[in-house]
Every structure is written in structure tokens, then in C-alpha cells.
Amino acid sequence: MKKNILLGVIVLLLAGTNVTAQKSSSFNSFSYTTALGIKLYPGSGGAAVTLKYFVKKNTALEALGFAWERGGRITGLYEFHWDIPNAPGLKWYAGPGAHIGFYNDKYYNGIRDGKGSYASIGLDGVIGLDYKFKNIPLNLSADWQPSFDFGNERYSGFGGNFGGIAARYTF
């Protein structure tokens, strides 16, 4: 599955860089308004579709649809972005968020225990770096996204293994 996601990102990036008739306003700029792509989560072994939209110059909303072998999460983040001096295109960001998770524990830790499926809600935080290339419609980011779940005995409490690396097409 990871190979298919990576292949999809590469195809998306190549298709975006070959389009010259309708360049986005972000093509020759270090800024962008909207970006769509894939975020890989090495700590949890999953991937997410990510959509980031700037509502103001330094404020963005990010939606993430995450999937992994035992379920998925839908997360919304409200991010504040700040420029890093003497580093055009590079910003750091932080902000709060929330998520809802759906989990299938038919096989928990490799043991079939028959406890079935769970749902939980939670709060998120995020801190990271965001870089927009100037001459191509590509944005890269890396972040840490700790969360706190309000769920059952298996999915409750602090989770520090979320966070990852994203590649997005900007427009």
C-alpha cells in the first residue's frame, strides 16, 4: 500500500510540474493558498490525504484523512504560520485541532480477541516546518502531531506517535 501511495504522489507531482498553460498563482512564489497531497506517518505506519487552505496570510486550516491497518482518523487542525528569517519559503507552524478515530481490533497485538471495533474522539496539537518551492507547485512539511484520545481502555490517553512528512501540490 505504501508503494501505491508513493507512486500516486510522484505521478501527482510530475503531472503538476508539466502543466505550463495554466500555472497557479503559487508557481513563481514562496507562498500558496491551497495545497493537496499525501502525508506519511512513520511512527504509526499509515498515510493520510492532506488538504491545507490558508484562510489568512499566516493562518491555515488542514484536514487529514488517515488510514492504517487497524482503522483510521479524520483530523482538523487550525495552524498559525510564522516566517523564519533569512529562509525564503520556510515557515514554522503550530496549532490546535481535533479528531475522530475508528479502530478495528479484531486482531489486537496479533491475537484474535473478538473485541471488535471502537470509535473515539480526541484533541490534537501540531508543531512543524513548512517549505514552499519557488519555481514548482510543491510544498513539503514535517511535523509532530501529539494527541489525546477520549475513548475506551485501548484508545484513551496521550498518543505521541503521530506526525509525519507531507508532500503537496499547491494551487
**Alpha helix ranges (H) inside 43-106:** none
- Which residue is it, cell 511535523? 143
Question: Whole-model pTM?
Answer: 0.78
Q: How confident is the model at residue 31 (pLDDT cuts 50, 70, 90)?
A: confident
Contact 123, 147 (CB under 8 A): yes
CB neighbours of 145 closer than 8 A, spacing ≥ 6?
Answer: 75, 77, 97, 124, 125, 126, 128, 162, 163, 164
pLDDT, tens only, 53-103 = 999 999 999 999 998 877 889 999 999 999 999 999 999 999 999 999 888
Supply the pLDDT for residue 42.
Answer: 86
| Average pLDDT taken over every residue of the chain | 82
At 171, the amino acid letter reads F
